Amino acid sequence: MTQKTAMKDIVVLLPGVMGSVLQKDGKDIWNISVEAALRATIEIISQRSLFKELTLQDDDPERDELDDGIKASGLIQDARLVPGFFKVDGYSYIRKQLIKNFDVTPSNVNDDNKANFFEFAYDWRRDNRVAARLLQKLINKKLPRWQEVYPQAKVILIAHSMGGLVARYYLEHLGGAQHCKALITLGTPYRGSVKILEFLANGYQKRPFPDLTEVVRSFTSAYQLLPIYPMINVGANWQRVSETDEIPGVVKEQARQGREFVKLLKGSRSYTTKPIIGVGQKSTFQSAQISDGRLNVSKEILPPHPNNGEPLFPSYCTGDDTVPLVSAIPLELSSNELQDVPLIECHGSLQSNPQVWNLLKSYLMRLQDTIEDFQNPMSIQAAQQRAGISLTIDDLYLLNEPVQLGAEIINVEPETLNSSRNFGGLNARITPVSGSGRSPVKEKFKQENDTQYRLILDPSVLAPGLYHLEVETGRAHDLAPKAVHDLFQVMG
């Protein structure tokens, strides 16, 4: 039996965008899997009305609740995906590990008992100020109760993706800093995401999947996830989203308001910030340009440094497939102040990655004793030298479309690859999210050159559904990269 570590502080887990269950009039409208949704009637799909109830109307940031009857009721526990926009591997793993390894008292946010572990669900469509205000109310209610047990208790916030922006606003503008011992973020887009911009501008149209572009464009939060630094090449100049008129599907004034919100999130350093960052994914969008009325994104062209306008080092050309490295660094930190935190993993799987959990566990244990050794400086350049696996996959594969998966071994010296025979190559383990009695599919990638691999599966191999993908080396080796994970959908 695992020896549990006493947890004297309150721990609050904040999910990212799409990470909370949303209900309307007591019925789930965002908790249904894409697989289940696509088994809905032909009428729903043909009318493109899937999830239409999620469309946000007149978001007033001063109101805790709107008149649309939609409320957050809990965290998403397993995988969910909106192709081209966002995917998340649920929060059940990190929840189970916290309860397994630490002596915490979980409780519902609405209960009045003394407890110190809460999962904070919020309406991720809305202005993040609303969620931050609700977080303030939760902590103001729960912390004094827990301090009856541990008078010196503070709050530790663990936030995935956009949850970090919610936490930051609470800490910096709603008095939360005085109550906070540490903020630990997993893949938070402190400076925004080019992938979100690409979705708002171009949408995702791969029939018969419904076009959800207009639904997402209605979200206030989507504009608070846009890049705030100059990353659009217009002529010979780099411009911010909020400065650019010609972006299709993007309202310039809302982009300006989104940027003003994010600029407020620079940390005061009165509490410890620990960012855990996903890197190594060459599929991460880095910049964009506008051509013939369309936004074209690039995975290779880096924008200038957001602080000084100088060219970025090539080592910045990475990310977690959703958040580029330059955006994952907190606004108040420079790259050489990061503390041994970049890991090679995809954005939606950071919170369910065993390496991430091991880091998180060690941080939490240290925070219960002393914070003196909490910081362990390592430069981005050093972190980028770690061996890893970079994935190239589509979010969605159509009926009768071959499932093509690309993978590449990165940051390994040629001599090591030769002596280890490429660590036995790369293997894929593809597991249906829903289970349904189906066994995982195990396949070996075909090597295309020294480091690059490809796997092409016949459409008959995978039944329609949502799948976990794990890619790892064929043989164990001290210098071999760790497994990397992602999600994809097969249409029926």
| d(C-alpha 161, C-alpha 372), whole Å | 27
Q: Are residues 280 and 412 in the same domain?
A: no
Q: 265-293 pLDDT, tens per residue?
A: 988 778 889 999 999 999 999 999 998 88
Q: 130-181 pLDDT, tens per residue?
A: 999 999 999 999 999 999 999 999 999 999 999 999 999 999 999 999 999 9
- Closest alpha carbon to 90 in 198, 200, 184, 13: 13
Number of domains comprising the chain = 2
Q: Are residues 80 and 215 in the same domain?
A: yes
Domain end residue (candidates: 385, 410, 441): 385
Q: 82-105 pLDDT, tens per residue?
A: 777 778 888 999 999 999 999 999
Task: Note the pTM of the prediction, 2 decimals.
Answer: 0.91
Share of the chain above pLDDT 90, in %: 66
Q: What is the pLDDT of residue 2?
A: 65
Q: What is the pLDDT of residue 44?
A: 38
Q: Considering all CA atoms of the chain, what is the largest pairwise distance in Å, rounded to the nearest integer?
A: 64
| d(C-alpha 19, C-alpha 86), whole Å | 10
Q: Are residues 310 and 181 in the same domain?
A: yes
CA distances, 213 to each of 16, 209, 248 (Å): 19, 11, 12
Q: What is the pLDDT of residue 315?
A: 87
Give the mean pLDDT of the chain: 88
Which pair of tokens denotes residue 374? 């909490």
Q: Around 50, how many Cα atoms within 13 Å sit in the side-chain half-sphere?
A: 24
Q: 237-261 pLDDT, tens per residue?
A: 899 999 999 899 999 999 999 999 9
User: What is the 3-class SS of 322-361, one letter each residue?
Assistant: CCEHHHHCCCCCCHHHCCCCEEECCHHHHHHCHHHHHHHH
| Arithmetic mean of pLDDT, 427-443 | 87
Q: Are residues 444 and 459 in the same domain?
A: yes
| Residue 370 reports pLDDT greater than 50 | no
Buried b (16+ CB within 10 A) or exposed e, 360-383: bbebbeebeeeeeeeeeeeebeeb
Q: Are residues 453 and 317 in the same domain?
A: no
The three-class DSSP label of residue 24 is strand
Q: Which domain holds residue 426?
A: 388-490
Residue type, 436: S
Q: 438-455 pLDDT, tens per residue?
A: 789 999 999 999 999 999
Lowest model confidence (mean pLDDT) among 95-109, 180-194, 332-346: 332-346
Domain end residue (candidates: 340, 355, 385): 385
Q: Are residues 71 and 138 in the same domain?
A: yes
Q: What is the pLDDT of residue 46?
A: 41
Q: Are residues 410 and 277 in the same domain?
A: no
Q: What is the pLDDT of residue 254?
A: 96
The three-class DSSP label of residue 424 is helix
Q: What is the pLDDT of residue 285?
A: 97
Q: Are residues 305 and 359 in the same domain?
A: yes
- Closest alpha carbon to 135 in 177, 83, 186: 177
Q: What is the pLDDT of residue 80?
A: 82
Residue 442 vs residue 3, higher pLDDT: 442
Q: Is the dihedral of CA 51, 53, 55, 61 positive or negative?
A: negative
Question: Which residues lie closer than 8 Å to 427 by C-beta, 6 or more apart?
Answer: 442, 443, 444, 445, 471, 472, 473, 474
Which pair of tokens denotes residue 347? 């954005």
Share of the chain above pLDDT 70, in %: 89
Alpha helices for 174-280 (secondary structure H) = 194-202, 213-217, 220-223, 252-263
| d(C-alpha 57, C-alpha 218), whole Å | 7
CATH code, domain with 130: 3.40.50
What pLDDT band is residue 377 in, cutting at 50, 70 and 90?
A: very low
- Closest alpha carbon to 462 in 31, 87, 50, 35: 35
Q: Are residues 14 and 120 in the same domain?
A: yes
CATH code, domain with 463: 2.60.40.10
- Closest alpha carbon to 129 in 156, 160, 168: 168
| d(C-alpha 336, C-alpha 397), whole Å | 40
What pLDDT band is residue 480 in, cutting at 50, 70 and 90?
A: very high
- The count of other CB atoms within 10 Å of the CB of residue 90 is 21
Strand ranges across the sheet with 446-447: 388-392, 403-410, 452-457, 446-447
Q: Are residues 352 and 401 in the same domain?
A: no
Q: Are residues 183 and 317 in the same domain?
A: yes
What pLDDT band is residue 434 in, cutting at 50, 70 and 90?
A: confident
| Residue 384 reports pLDDT greater than 60 | no
Q: Are residues 191 and 101 in the same domain?
A: yes
Q: What is the pLDDT of residue 336?
A: 55
Domain end residue (candidates: 332, 359, 385): 385
| Residue 42 reports pLDDT greater than 50 | no
Q: What is the pLDDT of residue 40?
A: 41
Cβ burial, residue 62 (10 Å; 0-12/13-18/19+): exposed
